[in-house]
């Protein structure tokens, strides 16, 4: 599906989130441990926007790597890295988040923006993320969530009727944006997702709601 929508993917992210996606990724990047030489793996990296946010916030990061299953998302990501002359230092690798092509303890941090919701075996992916983190390493996940209170209905109306129509029209792929709506509504958020992180073995788990709770940044430590 992501191979199909890659052409307008970045544009639609900006339009449908009113550019909030950029500030959420920036917030996540700010939660990475400070210090030079940081080794970070970005899972479900897509066209690489999470990596760019990390590079902007941590220009001294030591080794960044992106992984994704979609060859076309990765090739768009490589074009963007080439434009910023960062392709040689930031490898993008085709790999499934449920079977990460990396050694145990290879990274200080693992990030994942809007990716976990799309993975079929969520717990397996979380356990894999933990495996490739060093002891004390940090997992940071950004994902859509459903706000509480009266705003919830406004947001659901937007998801079901506005976002689906604009996304379908601009991308030419109505099914992809209907899937986006369904996947957001059904994916566990808040405490339910924190519980999954604990089940996968993470400690000091925390959820930080963003923008009235329409997205949440989750963190946990190995």
Ligand X SMILES: C[S@@+](CC[C@H](N)C(=O)[O-])C[C@H]1O[C@@H](n2cnc3c(N)ncnc32)[C@H](O)[C@@H]1O
92 binds ligand X (CB under 6 A): no
CB of 203 to ligand X, least distance (A): 24
CA distance 213 to 24: 11
Q: According to the binding rule CB under 6 A, does residue 128 interact with ligand X?
A: no
**Residue 109 is a binding residue for ligand X (CB under 6 A):** no
Separation between Cα atoms, residue 28 and residue 218, nearest integer Å:
9
Torsion-angle region of 146 (φ positive above 0: left; ψ -120 to 50: alpha; else: beta): beta
* Smaller CB separation from ligand X, 41 or 194: 41
From the list 65, 115, 138, 197, which residue makes contact with ligand X (rule: CB under 6 A)? 115
For residue 208, give the nearest of 28, 83, 43 by alpha carbon. Answer: 28
- If one asks whether residue 119 binds ligand X (CB under 6 A), the answer comes out as yes
User: Interaction with ligand X in 10-49: which residues (CB under 6 A)?
Assistant: 13, 44-46, 49
Q: Roughly what angle, to the nearest 10 degrees, separates helices 164-171 and 174-186? A: 150
39-43 and 107-113: which strand pairing? parallel
Among 5, 54, 73, 217, binds ligand X (CB under 6 A): 73
Q: Which residues contact 162 (CB under 8 A, 6 or more apart)?
A: none
- In this chain, which of 97, 110, 122, 159 binds ligand X, going by CB under 6 A? 97
Residues in contact with ligand X by the rule CB under 6 A: 2, 13, 44-46, 49-50, 68-70, 73, 96-98, 113-115, 118-119
């Amino acid at each position: 599906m992501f191979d199909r929508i890659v052409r307008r993917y970045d544009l639609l992210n900006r339009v449908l989130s009113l550019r909030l996606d950029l500030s959420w990724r920036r917030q996540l990047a700010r939660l990475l441990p400070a210090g030079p030489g940081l080794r970070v793996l970005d899972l479900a990296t897509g066209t690489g926007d999470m990596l760019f946010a990390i590079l902007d916030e941590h220009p001294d990061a030591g080794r960044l790597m992106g992984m994704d299953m979609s060859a076309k998302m990765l090739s768009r990501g490589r074009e963007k890295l080439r434009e910023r002359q960062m392709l040689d230092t930031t490898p993008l690798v085709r790999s499934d988040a449920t079977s990460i092509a990396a050694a145990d303890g290879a990274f200080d941090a693992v990030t994942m923006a809007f990716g976990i919701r799309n993975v079929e075996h969520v717990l397996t992916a979380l356990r894999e993320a933990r495996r490739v983190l060093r002891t004390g390493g940090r997992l940071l996940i950004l994902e859509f969530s459903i706000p509480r209170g009266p705003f919830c209905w406004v947001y659901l109306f937007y998801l079901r009727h506005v976002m689906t129509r604009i996304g379908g029209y601009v991308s030419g792929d109505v099914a992809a944006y209907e899937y986006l709506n369904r996947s957001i509504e059904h994916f566990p958020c808040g405490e339910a997702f924190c519980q999954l992180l604990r089940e996968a073995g993470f400690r000091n788990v925390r959820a930080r709601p963003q923008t009235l709770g329409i997205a949440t940044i989750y963190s946990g430590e190995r």
